[in-house]
Amino acid sequence: MSAEQRYYYATGKRKTSVARVRLYTDSGPIVVNGVPLEEAFPWNSWQQLVKEPFRVVNGMDQFRVVAKVTGGGIVSQAGALRHGISRALVEADSNLRPPLKKAGLLTRDAREKESKKYGLKRARKAKQYTKR
């Protein structure tokens, strides 16, 4: 691998996970945190989630992905990686934006955990009310 090799960079987020994605123009595997995708995300549903942007644009064997993912849980990390790959694909080729946008892969999933409120046990759970 040469130091001058061209790649497209993008950041994907989901909940508290952040994925920093490098999309190389040569064919190759998806590497997450230094290990292959199959080891990083062992369940097939997680792998399908990560590969979805490539399936939408029919570019499975055209790119190589090297990503660093931090924070959150494993499903959150898979969602962040999917978002990052989608954004990197748009950086590589702006013609891919409409199909990715239509599939909803460029939209950042803004759902976050609601913060705990004082006087309550969790965000909304209160002690049981007793009349007598």
Share of the chain above pLDDT 90, in %: 91
In a domain, 124, yes or no: no
Counting the structural domains of the chain, the total is 1
Q: Which two tokens stand for residue 57?
A: 């644009």
Asked whether residue 130 is assigned to any structural domain, the reply reads no
Does any domain span residue 42?
A: yes
Decide the pairing of beta strands 30-32 and 17-24. unpaired
34 falls within a domain = yes
Predicted confidence (pLDDT) per residue in 61-89, tens digit: 899 999 999 999 999 999 999 999 999 99
pLDDT at 110: 94
Binned at pLDDT 50, 70 and 90, residue 37 comes out as very high
Tokens (6 digits) for 26:
């040569």
Q: Domain holding 50: CATH number?
A: 3.30.230.10
Q: Is the dihedral of CA 72, 78, 80, 81 positive or negative?
A: positive
| Residue 109 placed within a domain | no
pLDDT(39) > 80 = yes
- Looking up tokens 């990390």 gives 77
Residue 38 lies in a domain: yes
> What are the structure tokens assigned to 89, written together?
């694909």
Mean pLDDT of the chain: 93
Does a structural domain hold residue 132?
no
Confidence of residue 2 (pLDDT cuts 50, 70, 90): low
Is pLDDT above 60 for 124?
yes
- What's the whole-model pTM score? 0.89
Q: Identify the domain containing residue 11 by its residue range.
A: 7-102
**What is the DSSP track for 69-96?**
EESS-HHHHHHHHHHHHHHHHHHH-GGG
Asked if residue 131 belongs to a domain, the reply is: no
- The string of pLDDT tens digits covering residues 40-66 is 999 999 999 999 999 999 988 899 999
Q: CA–CA separation, 84 vs 106, rounded Å? A: 9
